[in-house]
Structure 1
Amino acid sequence: MLKRKTVNSIFILGLIVLVGLSFFLSFPWYIFLLVGFIWFLLTLFGSFFVRWNYHLVSLHSNKSTTKNEVAITFDDGPNSQYTPMALELLKKYDARATFFCIGKHIEKHPELFKQIIREGHTVGNHTFSHDNTFGFYGTSKVAHELSKSIDLVEKLVGLKMRLYRPAFGVTNPSIAEAVNKLGLISIGWNVRSLDTTPRNEKMVLKRITTRTNRGDIILLHDTSAKSIAVLERLLLFLKEKNLKSVTVDQLLELKAYV
């Protein structure tokens, strides 16, 4: 996978070579512009495609597992309307999941958050505010956002979260530095449902079921009726395929809390 430092080193070296050669050969000016544009595109796509591990290494699956397990993960909750529905379905099918919660939603629904943990699911950090401009925050502001959620959860249930799900799937040098400083583990996915897009229930379910295999991490959201409908059909599919949904820390064999 592409790494930011590697790409930057290659492009800096390339520019040095081009500048050196320009003393002996004639290059059109737009060659330098083209090199800069390619670097910009790689950095931009690396920021938005979490699976590239461009700025920050995230864990996306466990393909080495010998167990028939997958991990269903939910982002953006807890939601007072839909999270209880998700919990009811998970209980019905004896499944476990991981909820990457937004701090301000935990603050608003503390008892629902406690219920998630009480029923055997794992919780992780999805920032405190999930602000639309989160990708433009500096390192200290990112760290403050993450720490605020960590402190809130520790005060509420006595657990210090280690798992972080990048907001909007966006990473950059500031986010990477803050995550590393706080000693967090970034969790990505390799099966993205796209349940927050205009795709209908059937399309979302097909997208998941045609991609899901042992060791995969599935991304859903506990924020809509469509996602809940998809969840029930997904749990039936997993049962038919003899795949069990476990928490992401169990799938990846790591500790979710300090």
Structure 2
Amino acid sequence: MTVLPPVHAPRQWRPTPLLQATFALHVGALGLLALQPGLWPWSLGALAANHLSLTAVGLWPRSRGLGPNWVRLPPTAAAGQIAITIDDGPDPEVTPAVLDLLDHCDARANFFCIGAMAQRYPELCRDIVRRGHAVENHSQHHYHHFAILGPRRMAREIATGQDSLVAVTGQRPCFFRPTAGLRSPFLEPILARQGLYLASWTRRGYDTRNRDADDVVRRLTTDLAAGDILLLHDGNAARTAAGQPVILAALPRVLDRAAAKGLNTITLRSTLDRPPL
């Protein structure tokens, strides 16, 4: 299989104001301990408060406190466009039906695939690309504790996922989404070295646990507007009371409502010739 060249070279990592303040606080706390050892409770308290703030920001998937984060399409690409993102696949039962729905609506989507699942179902992952969609990186194993991995193991999860998806599809991912969108300060430097962008979402339907397709549609389409990035799941999909994967019940209605508003679906990577957020 021919492997496509990288779309983007490694990016330069720039610490955010929050991280710059964190570095300064740690240096200051060490200096204070050296000059006034008796003030160690104050130093420890300041560091603990700082780490709590970092944790809170990492638990907020749409925050930009730890680095760049695509929660919407870039303004230059957002006129009349939205992005559908689909996580946790490929799934041998659900993904083919999702692809058929997208074909029927002439829609494009972004599949954030797990590397190990792509290796298990390579032809299905290749079919995603053949039908005009984008395959992006959702890590190699989708560990639920991804956000608390150390930097070396986190980098290995991302790099292995990247290699797996390239080997299976020939398409080099441009975006990364961590498990549940949770992350730590280690993530952005790793993504910058890989030339990857962090992609979050504007709105989500919670369709891995929400069995009510009507509620999922409501969450995704209320005040739906150009530039929105929507999150659904083909892997780990919840089931309706009738046993249907929620995405299959919700996606056609989401696409119909988008079309009624004159909105088209695009891949995230198609916007990369424009400045990212």
Per the shorter chain, which TM-score range? 0.7 to 0.9
Kindly provide the amino acid, as one letter, of the partner of residue 53 in structure 1.
Answer: R
Contact 2:83/2:265 (CA < 8 Å) preserved in 1? yes
- Deviation digits for residues 43-79 of structure 1 (CA, Å, limit 9, x no counterpart): 1111111321222322221252462110000110001
User: Are 2:260 and 1:248 equivalent residues in the alignment?
Assistant: no
Compared CA separation, residues 3 and 233, structure 1 to 2 (3 A): farther
Alignment of 1:168-187 (within 5 A): 168-187=180-199
Unaligned runs of 5+ in 1: none
CA 1:13–1:135 in 2, change beyond 3 Å: closer, same or farther?
Answer: closer
RMSD of Structure 2 on Structure 1 (CA): 3.0
Deviations 1:119-147 (A, max 9, x none): 00011000000112222222221222222
- For 1:130 and 1:201, the matched residues in 2 are separated by 25
Between the aligned partners of 1:170 and 1:195, the Cα distance in structure 2 is: 17
1:192 Cα deviation (Å)?
2.1
Query: What aligned pairs does 1:94-105 form with structure 2 within 5 A after superposition?
Result: 94-105=106-117
List gaps (5 residues or longer) in structure 2.
1-15, 238-244
Q: Is the 8 A contact 1:56 1:171 kept in 2?
A: no
What are the residue-to-residue correspondences of 1:138-157 with 2, within 5 Å? Answer: 138-157=150-169
Answer with 159-168 or 29-38: which moved more: 29-38
Contact 2:138–2:176 at 8 Å: present in 1 too?
yes
Mean Cα deviation higher: 179-188 or 120-129: 179-188
What amino acid maps onto 1:92 in structure 2? H
Q: Is the 8 A contact 1:56 1:172 kept in 2?
A: no
- Whether the aligned pair in 2 keeps the contact of 1:195 and 1:227 (CA below 8 Å) is yes
The answer on 1:203 being equivalent to 2:203 is: no
Aligned length: 250
| CA distance in 2: counterparts of 1:142 and 1:15, whole angstroms | 28
1:113 corresponds to 2:125: yes
Q: Which amino acid aligns with 2:127?
A: Q
Report if aligned partners of 1:62, 1:215 keep a CA contact under 8 Å in 2.
yes
Provide the rounded CA distance (Å) in 1 between the counterparts of 2:42 and 2:209.
Answer: 39
Asked if the contact 1:68/1:215 (under 8 Å) is kept, the reply is: yes
Alpha-carbon deviation of 1:31?
7.4
Assess if the C-alpha contact under 8 Å between 2:116 and 2:164 holds in 1. Answer: no
Alpha-carbon offset, residue 14 of structure 1: 8.8
Q: Does 1:238 align with 2:249?
A: no
Deviation (angstroms), 1:88? 0.7
How far apart, in 2, do the equivalents of 1:191 and 1:183 lie? 25
Residue 225 of structure 2: aligned partner: 213
Instruction: State the alpha-carbon separation in 2 of the partners of residues 173 and 113 from structure 1.
Output: 31
Closer, same or farther: CA 177–148 of 1 in aligned 2, 3 Å: same
TM-score normalised by length of structure 2: 0.79
Amino acid at match of 1:39: N
Task: Please name the residue that 2:240 is paired with.
Answer: none
The residue identity in structure 1 corresponding to 2:259 is: K
Q: How far apart in 1 are the matches of 2:257 and 2:24?
A: 45
Q: Could you tell me how far apart the structure 2 residues matched to 1:79 and 1:55 are? A: 31
Q: Measured at CA, do residues 114 and 254 of structure 1 come closer, stay the same or move farther in structure 2, by a change above 3 Å?
A: farther
Q: Deviations over 1:4-47 (max 9, x none)?
A: 3144257569979x99xx9xxxx9x9977765554233211111
User: Given the alignment of the two structures, is residue 8 of structure 1 paired with residue 22 of structure 2, yes or no?
Assistant: yes
> What do residues 201-258 of structure 1 show as CA deviations (whole Å, max 9, x unaligned)?
1111111111421011111111321122111110111111111111112245469xxx
2:139 is the counterpart of 1:132:
no
Query: Given the superposition, is the C-alpha separation of residues 10 and 149 from structure 1 closer, same or farther in structure 2, using an over 3 Å criterion?
Result: closer
Name the CA shift for 1:254/1:151 in 2 (closer, same or farther; >3 Å): farther
Q: 3-state DSSP class of the match of 1:117?
A: helix
The 3 A distance-change label for structure 1 pair 210 and 43 is: same
Task: List, as ranges, runs of 4+ consecutive aligned residues in structure 1 with deviation greater than 3 Å.
Answer: 9-16, 29-38, 251-255
2:66 is matched with which residue: 41, 55, 66? 55
Query: For the residues of structure 1 that align with 2:145 and 2:23, how far apart are their CA atoms?
Result: 28
Identity of aligned residues (%): 30
CA apart distance, 1:3: 4.2
